[in-house]
């Protein structure tokens, strides 16, 4: 019978299996029935208040809150039904003496947490008591049982539950102790049905689906564009077979009207052309817009025309509206709480404080062509303020236009402001004008400081209708026509052949045919008549001569793909930039040879099918959600995702320090880091249960390469690593750590906890500790390089780090070390328990991050890295470190991606806070990488012979048993090693190559029974051989 109670119990047990410490939680399910019930029981002693670890408890790490012991677990709820949590048994006693329990450390958030500087090496922390807790005469936490945020994973609804056996009153110093807590979790009307994974819906069929082919068109600035016969032929279109009537254009799936100039002969010949209007892109991910020209299918809309009859006495309108804008993109601001897809590039901040300066101003120069000097203009400026203060409002600036005051504008922290002021157009001059933002303490009495980052400034103003470069965009008419009929005169053209288009519907322009050209001022003045409608200020027009038509910035004939189809089967999905595909192929062939179903997907195909050709990280997530939900029908879902290509947040080339790195596979941006805010979180690409899900359904890794040579280097390392011979390198594990007296953590002690309590004893663990093993940068880096040169199965760092190094004041490794390493044939997995050393998206003057540098180094460095893209605290990292070591070395989860995601799930189960660690811990390398732990010991098949009172055992040697063999004896015929009456007779080394193994017991012929166990390189034992020896049994018949 299906039982969600059994599923919940199994999941809870799995979160506790493998712990080196006894679990603090006991679980039992309730009676069978329609409702779900689960009881959790936690027992503790008063001694656990100060020695939490001994009984399976952890220390709470909520910043500023008392550091109390707790335990936590994960419960799988049925997919539907309201859940409740009730304390069934919770009698407490007050411990006799008063206590002083300090808080967990709190992070110090810098004003401008920029990444690309050497000064950021750590998450600054301080000991700060939360006043809401420490000044209140009440017990904390308010309830000894807390429920965390429900998350979904692979259709399971997961509830983390945290239990505190102690509550603390900071005012009185009293501590409540609950020796036994029992919690009942119930779900009413539970339905035994699997939850649905959120899947990206397929695009509806449209009029473009019948097309035989398509051309992807990239456009730059807004305006009318011309596609010539020569352009189309050069792009590879089969023009001889294309009927112009089948041409259709689209943008974001919407029809775009075009003007086909084919002479009416039904063919596309030399001299023919196609005209269309393209708007400038508003995407934060591209500098160009993307339009599609489809051919061979259903015809798309054409640009229509309109002609009005002039009355002859209409007033001549010569003033239009234009806008000039300035947007200084000098700083990338991940710390601002902005939604995904919002531009994060700002100017440097304006700052005022009582300590000075009390006034700070910034002026922006805007060039205004031909201002009319009459009427009303509008000045606008946008800015963002981050830090929340009292009283409200807490941000302000005065706006000036050419030194004329245009109001004081205030707003609240955490929001953008778009300040707008109507001003006399007479303030403006032809050429350069200035908008000034001035911050001043006097604007906000009661505040001692504030700061904000300007974003952009613009002026919309009445301008003379004068063309520039034989074209003009009129955003509206600045003069009201009589009776709605507008007669507009535009000067400054060099030719009389000018086209006029109504742009009030940009996707469907209309050509205005009532035009007249006449010579003026050495050129031509174009007059047109049109119905300006009820709102002439919104009547937009575009005028262009033939020679002023814009050319697209790129044309690409599409190679059709059909990834949005259920007719695919894959275990392993590689998303690859086309420039890197060939270099990756040997790895894909290797995975296919293992039996995995492998597909390689061009990232541009994903954009074409899921975001209409536009670069967009969400398109990649939507594709993966579709593949996860629709592929492999009736079989196991896809398991592995490999991203192949570098990515960063400088999509538009604003550039840090002049770097121009290729942006091949974009990072997924997530606003999750407590300090930085938005960070790269590839984890979200494979978290499928809704937009806020962060528990991965598939295992993801990234090769952050820019060139085929970099891909080839890591592919070669991966193949060599998985094929390498067994050796002593597999037994070595290096623990490098920062200083033990660091304010943010006793890093030696934390690493020793992992080495001594969580790593199996048979491994050769070595440490490289600042202040113990090295006392200078030179010593630390030399020891770090030696660890890599000697070879190890794992090298980990615990402590401060930056993008470029392990260490704060002293370094154990930096980005200049990988080229200095010896070429090797085996490489470690590196685990970075630190901050930022995997932050690959911020382009720095120093180069790529440490994790990237280690991974991409040819024949050197690492085979994979588990590294942070954000800031982490030592308490959370210690928990994650424990579960990762447990999962790799005790549970022996051998695929790198599976091991990391199992650790993330265990971390989620074990911590109600700091879940940003799940998103900001990334795997660099192949998620299907087979970690080369020492081969598991193999069961010997021993046989026994007896002669002269002695028993000789012999068996074939298996090379996996590189640690030798144990021989056990017992007087009982059926026994287990370690039983009270058993005795280990010998610990044998492995025999010489090609020789069998044997052991002789000179006194065992009469009563001896034996079993043999193999040992691998780290003394892990195999299953025992069948018992052999003197069996004095005979068969009898009735």
Q: Indicate which CATH number applies to the domain containing 779.
A: 3.40.50.1460
pLDDT in tens, 475-517: 999 988 767 789 999 999 999 999 999 999 999 999 999 999 9
Convert 684-725 into a string of H (helix), E (strand) and C (coil): HHHCCCCCCCCCCCCEEEEECCCCHHHHHHHHHHHHHHHHCC
Q: Residue 347: its pLDDT value, please?
A: 96
In whole angstroms, what is the distance from residue 155 CA to residue 196 CA?
A: 6
b/e map 602-629, b = 16+ CB within 10 Å: bbbbbbbbbbbbbbbbbbbbbbbbbbbb
759: nearest Cα among 852, 584, 572, 884: 884
For residue 535, give the 3-state DSSP assignment.
coil
Helix (H) or strand (E) holding 214: strand 213-219
Q: Are 335 and 677 in contact (CB under 8 A)?
A: yes
- Do 253 and 327 contact (CB within 8 A), yes or no? no
Q: What is the pLDDT of residue 207?
A: 41
B/e letters for 528-546, b = 16+ CB within 10 Å, e = fewer, are bbbbbeeebbebbbbbbbe
d(CA 715, CA 94): 61
Percent of the chain with pLDDT over 70: 90
At 224-281, the pLDDT tens digits run 999 999 999 999 999 999 999 999 999 999 999 999 998 888 889 999 999 999 999 9
Q: What is the dihedral of CA 44, 46, 47, 50, to 10 degrees?
A: 100
User: To which residue do tokens 């928990």 refer?
Assistant: 879
**Which residues partner with 366 through β-bridges?**
433
Instruction: Judge whether residue 206 has pLDDT over 50.
Output: no
**157 and 18 share a domain?**
yes
Say what the pLDDT of residue 32 is.
52
- pLDDT given at position 910: 81
Rounded to 10 deg, the angle between the 708-723 and 581-593 helix axes is 20
DSSP β-ladder status, 476-477 and 485-493: unpaired
Note whether 8 and 149 are same-domain residues. yes
Cβ atoms of 371 and 463 within 8 Å: the answer is: yes
Q: Can you tell me the distance from the alpha carbon of 886 to that of 902, in angstroms, rounded to the nearest whole number?
A: 10
Q: With a threshold of 0.95, does the pTM exceed it?
A: no
Give the CATH number, domain containing residue 359: 2.60.120.260
**Domain-embedded: residue 443:** yes
Q: Is residue 509 one of the residues assigned to a domain? A: yes
Confidence at residue 973, expressed as pLDDT on a 0 to 100 scale: 86
User: Dihedral, CA atoms, 625, 628, 633, 634, nearest 10 degrees?
Assistant: -130
Residues 6+ apart with CB under 8 A from 567: none
Cis-peptide into 357, omega within 30 deg? yes
End-to-end Cα distance, the chain: 44
Angle, CA 973 vertex, CA 970 and CA 975 arms, to 5°: 60
Statement to judge: residues 424 and 341 lie in one domain: yes
Name the least confident of 119-123, 674-678, 784-788: 119-123
Beta pairing, strands 304-306 & 510-512: parallel
The H or E element containing residue 106 is: strand 106-107
Question: Do 903 and 852 reside in the same domain of the chain?
Answer: yes
Q: Which two tokens stand for residue 238?
A: 């089969």
CATH number of the domain residue 1012 falls in: 2.60.40.10
| 211 contacts: CB under 8 Å, gap ≥ 6 | 246, 248, 294, 295, 296, 297, 298
What's the confidence (pLDDT) of residue 477?
A: 95
Q: Look at residue 577 and tell me if it is in a domain.
A: no
- Name residue, tokens 């200083």: 739
Q: Residue 61: what pLDDT? A: 77
Task: Pull the structure tokens for residue 40.
Answer: 């959790």
Q: What is the pLDDT of residue 35?
A: 61
DSSP 60-92: ---BTSB--EEEEEEEEE-SSS-EEEEEEE---
Same domain for 157 and 233, yes or no, is: no
Contact (CB, 8 A) for 623 and 697:
no
Domain endpoint, select from 444, 462, 480: 462
Contacts of residue 124, defined as CB under 8 A and 6 or more positions apart, other chains included, come to 107, 108, 110, 744
Give yes or no for a contact between 736 and 784, defined as CB atoms under 8 angstroms apart: yes
Three-state DSSP at 769 gives: strand
Identify any residues that bridge with 1001 across adjacent strands, giving them in sequence order: 951
CATH of residue 78: 2.60.40.3800
Residue 438 lies inside a defined structural domain of this protein: yes
Distances in Å between the alpha carbon of 331 and those of 195, 342, 734?
43, 14, 38
Q: What is the DSSP letter of 890?
A: I
SS3 676: coil
Q: Do 137 and 218 have their domain in common?
A: no
In this structure, are 228 and 286 located in the same domain?
yes
Q: Give the mean pLDDT of the chain.
A: 89
Answer yes or no: is pLDDT of 1032 > 60.
Answer: no
Q: pLDDT tens digits, residue range 575-596?
A: 999 999 999 999 999 999 999 9
Consecutive H or E run containing 322: strand 319-326
Distance CA 781, CA 786 (A): 9
Phi, psi of 160 (to 5 degrees): -80, 140
The per-residue pLDDT for range 374-420, each reduced to its tens digit, is: 999 999 999 999 989 988 999 999 999 999 999 999 999 999 999 99
Q: What's the token pair of residue 588?
A: 């894909």
Contact 726, 959 (CB under 8 A): yes
The whole-number pLDDT of residue 742 equals: 86
Which domain, by its residues, includes 391?
323-462
pLDDT tens profile 280-312: 999 999 999 999 999 999 999 999 999 998 887
Query: Which residue, among 168, 62, 67, has the nearest Cα to 106 in the 3D structure?
Result: 62
In a shared domain, residues 833 and 906 = yes
- DSSP label of 427: G
- Whether residue 199 is contained in a domain is answered as no
Nearest to 794 by CA among 766, 824, 761: 766
Instruction: Give pLDDT, residue 611.
Output: 96
Q: Are residues 334 and 253 in the same domain?
A: no
Strand partners for 371: 463
Cβ count within 10 A of residue 46: 14
Residue 273 belongs to some domain of the structure: yes
Strands 316-317 and 151-153, by their bridges, are unpaired
Q: Which residues contact 512 (CB under 8 A, 6 or more apart)?
A: 305, 306, 307, 500, 501, 502, 528, 529, 530, 541
Please name every residue paired with 464 in a beta bridge, in sequence order, or none if there are none. 319
CA 295 to chain centre: 38
pLDDT of residue 52: 58
1021/1012 Cα distance (integer angstroms): 10
Pick left, alpha or beta for residue 611 (phi over 0 → left; psi -120 to 50 → alpha; otherwise beta): alpha
Q: What is the largest CA-CA distance in the chain?
A: 133
Highest mean pLDDT among 61-75, 78-92, 532-546: 532-546
Residues, the chain: 1038
User: What element of type H or E holds 901?
Assistant: helix 896-910
* The last residue of a domain, from among 417, 439, 462: 462
- Least confident range from 76-85, 252-261, 318-327, 817-826: namely 76-85
602 assigned to some structural domain: no
Pairwise CA distance, residues 334 & 677, whole Å: 5
Alpha-carbon gap, residue 881 to 872, rounded angstroms: 12
Q: How many CB atoms lie within 10 A of CB 923?
A: 26
| 527: β partners | 489, 516
Element (H, E) at 545: strand 541-545
Q: Six-digit token pair at 541?
A: 């027009």
Could you tell me the two tokens for 202?
């397929």
Residues 979 and 918 in one domain: no
Residues 474 and 389 in one domain: no
Q: What is the pLDDT of residues 413-472, one digit of tens each?
A: 999 999 999 999 999 999 999 999 999 999 999 999 999 999 999 999 999 999 999 999
Please give the pLDDT value at position 936.
93
Where residue 112 falls among pLDDT bands split at 50, 70, 90? Answer: low
Predicted local confidence at residue 119, as pLDDT: 40
Model pLDDT for residues 183-203, shown as the tens digit of each residue:
888 888 655 444 444 444 434
CA pair distance 230, 220, nearest whole angstrom? 20
Residue 629 within any structural domain of the chain: no
Mapped onto helix, strand or coil, the DSSP state of residue 934 is: coil
The strand pair at 476-477 and 319-326 is best described as: antiparallel
Q: What's the rounded mean pLDDT across residues 877-906? A: 95
Q: Decide which of 406, 438, 462 is a domain's last residue.
A: 462
Indicate whether 959 and 868 sit together in one domain: no
The predicted structure's pLDDT at residue 110: 56
Q: What's the domain count of the chain?
A: 6
Looking up residue 292, the CATH number of its domain turns out to be 2.60.40
Work out the pLDDT band at 40, boundaries 50, 70, 90.
Answer: confident
Query: Which parts of 387-491 fold into alpha helices (H)?
Result: none
* Residues forming beta bridges with residue 63, ordered by sequence position: 104
| Residue 888 DSSP symbol | I
Cβ within 8 Å of residue 159, ≥6 positions away: 74, 75, 76, 77, 83, 147, 148, 150, 185
Going by C-alpha positions, the residue among 796, 829, 801, 833 that lies closest to residue 815 is 801
Bigger pLDDT: 661 vs 231: 231
Q: Report DSSP state, residue 356.
A: S
């Amino acid at each position: 019978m299906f039982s969600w109670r059994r599923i919940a119990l199994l999941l809870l047990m799995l979160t506790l299996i493998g712990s080196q410490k006894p679990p603090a939680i006991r679980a039992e399910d309730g009676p069978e029935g329609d409702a779900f019930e689960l009881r959790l029981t936690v027992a503790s002693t008063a001694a656990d208040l100060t020695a939490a670890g001994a009984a399976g408890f952890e220390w709470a790490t909520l910043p500023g809150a008392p550091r109390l012991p707790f335990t936590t677990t994960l419960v799988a709820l049925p997919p539907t039904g309201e859940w409740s949590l009730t304390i069934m048994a919770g009698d407490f006693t007050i411990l006799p003496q008063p206590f002083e329990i300090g808080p967990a450390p709190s992070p110090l958030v810098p004003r401008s947490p920029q990444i690309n500087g050497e000064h950021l090496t750590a998450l600054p922390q301080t000991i700060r008591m939360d006043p809401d807790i420490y000044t209140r005469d009440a017990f904390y936490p308010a309830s000894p049982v807390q429920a965390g945020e429900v998350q979904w994973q692979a259709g399971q609804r997961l509830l983390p539950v945290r239990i505190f056996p102690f509550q603390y009153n900071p005012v009185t110093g009293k501590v409540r102790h609950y020796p036994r807590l029992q919690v009942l979790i119930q779900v009413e009307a539970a339905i035994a049905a699997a939850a649905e994974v959120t899947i990206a819906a397929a695009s509806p069929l449209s009029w473009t689906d019948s097309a035989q082919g398509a051309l992807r068109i990239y456009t730059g600035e807004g305006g009318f564009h011309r596609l010539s016969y020569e352009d189309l032929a050069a792009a590879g279109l089969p023009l001889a077979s294309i009927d112009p009537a089948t041409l259709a254009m689209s943008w974001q799936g919407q029809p775009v009207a075009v003007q086909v100039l084919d002479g009416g002969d039904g063919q596309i010949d030399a001299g023919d052309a196609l005209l269309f209007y393209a708007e400038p892109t508003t995407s934060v991910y591209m500098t160009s817009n993307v339009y599609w020209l489809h051919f061979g299918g259903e015809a798309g809309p054409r640009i229509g025309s309109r002609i009005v009859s002039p009355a002859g006495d209409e007033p001549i309108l010569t003033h239009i509206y234009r806008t000039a804008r300035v947007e200084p993109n000098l700083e990338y601001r991940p710390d601002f709480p902005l939604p995904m897809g919002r531009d994060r590039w700002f100017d440097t901040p304006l700052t005022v404080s009582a300590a000075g300066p009390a006034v700070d101003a910034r002026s922006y120069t805007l060039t205004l062509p031909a201002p009319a000097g009459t009427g009303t203009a509008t000045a606008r400026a946008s800015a963002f303020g981050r830090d929340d203060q009292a009283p409200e409002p807490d941000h302000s600036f005065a706006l000036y236009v050419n030194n004329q005051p245009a109001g004081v504008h205030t707003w609240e922290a955490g929001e953008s402001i778009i300040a707008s002021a109507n001003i006399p157009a007479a303030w403006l001059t032809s050429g350069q004008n200035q908008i000034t933002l001035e911050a001043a303490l006097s604007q906000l009495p009661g505040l001692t400081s504030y700061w904000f980052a300007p974003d952009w400034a613009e002026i919309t103003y009445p301008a003379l209708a004068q063309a520039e470069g034989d074209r003009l965009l009129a955003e509206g008419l600045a003069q009201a026509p009589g009776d709605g009929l507008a007669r507009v005169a535009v000067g400054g053209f060099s030719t009389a052949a000018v086209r006029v288009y109504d742009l009030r519907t940009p996707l469907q322009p209309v050509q205005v045919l009532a035009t007249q050209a006449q010579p003026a001022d050495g050129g031509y003045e174009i007059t047109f008549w049109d119905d300006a409608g009820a709102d002439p200020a919104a009547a937009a027009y575009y005028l262009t001569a033939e020679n002023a038509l814009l050319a697209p910035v790129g044309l690409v004939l599409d190679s059709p793909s059909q990834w949005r189809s259920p007719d695919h089967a894959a275990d392993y999905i590689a998303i690859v930039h086309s420039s890197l595909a060939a270099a990756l192929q040997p790895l894909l062939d290797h995975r296919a040879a293992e039996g995995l179903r492998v597909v390689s997907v061009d990232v541009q195909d994903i954009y074409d099918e899921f975001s209409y050709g536009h670069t967009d990280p969400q398109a990649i997530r939507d594709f993966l959600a579709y593949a996860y939900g629709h592929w492999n029908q009736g079989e196991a879902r896809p398991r592995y995702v490999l991203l192949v290509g570098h990515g960063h947040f400088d999509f538009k080339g604003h550039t840090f320090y002049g770097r121009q790195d290729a942006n091949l596979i974009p990072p997924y941006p997530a606003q999750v880091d407590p300090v930085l805010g938005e960070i790269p979180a590839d984890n979200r690409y494979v978290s499928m249960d809704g937009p806020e899900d962060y528990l991965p359904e598939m295992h993801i890794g990234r090769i952050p390469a820019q060139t085929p040579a970099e891909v080839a280097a890591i592919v070669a390392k991966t193949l060599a690593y998985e094929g390498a011979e067994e050796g002593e390198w597999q037994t070595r594990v290096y623990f490098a750590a920062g200083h033990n007296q660091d304010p943010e953590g006793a890093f030696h002690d934390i690493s020793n906890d992992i080495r001594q309590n969580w790593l199996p004893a048979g491994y050769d663990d070595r440490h490289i500790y600042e202040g113990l093993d090295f006392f200078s940068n030179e010593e630390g880096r030399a020891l770090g390089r030696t660890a890599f040169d000697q070879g190890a199965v794992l090298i980990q760092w615990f402590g401060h780090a930056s993008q470029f190094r392990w260490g704060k004041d002293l370094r154990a490794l930096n980005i200049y070390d990988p080229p200095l390493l010896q070429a090797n044939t085996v490489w470690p997995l590196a685990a970075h328990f630190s901050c930022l050393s995997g932050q690959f998206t911020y382009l720095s003057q120093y180069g790529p991050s440490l994790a990237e540098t280690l991974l991409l180094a040819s024949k050197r460095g690492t085979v994979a890295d588990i590294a942070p893209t954000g800031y982490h605290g030592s308490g959370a990292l210690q928990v994650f470190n424990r579960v990762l070591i447990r999962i790799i070395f005790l549970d022996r989860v051998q695929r790198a991606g599976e091991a990391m995601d199992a650790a993330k799930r265990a971390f989620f189960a074990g911590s109600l806070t700091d879940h940003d660690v799940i998103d900001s811990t990334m795997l660099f390398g192949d998620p299907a990488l087979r970690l080369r732990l020492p081969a598991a010991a193999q069961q010997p098949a021993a046989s026994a012979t007896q002669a002269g009172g002695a028993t000789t055992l012999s068996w074939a040697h298996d090379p996996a048993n590189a640690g030798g063999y144990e021989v056990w004896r017992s007087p009982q015929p059926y026994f287990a090693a370690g039983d009270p009456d058993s005795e280990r007779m010998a610990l044998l080394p492995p025999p010489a190559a090609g020789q069998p193994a044997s052991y002789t017991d000179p006194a065992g012929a009469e009563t001896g029974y034996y079993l043999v166990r193999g040992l691998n390189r780290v003394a892990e034992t195999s299953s025992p051989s069948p018992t052999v020896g003197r069996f004095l049994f005979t068969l009898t018949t009735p």
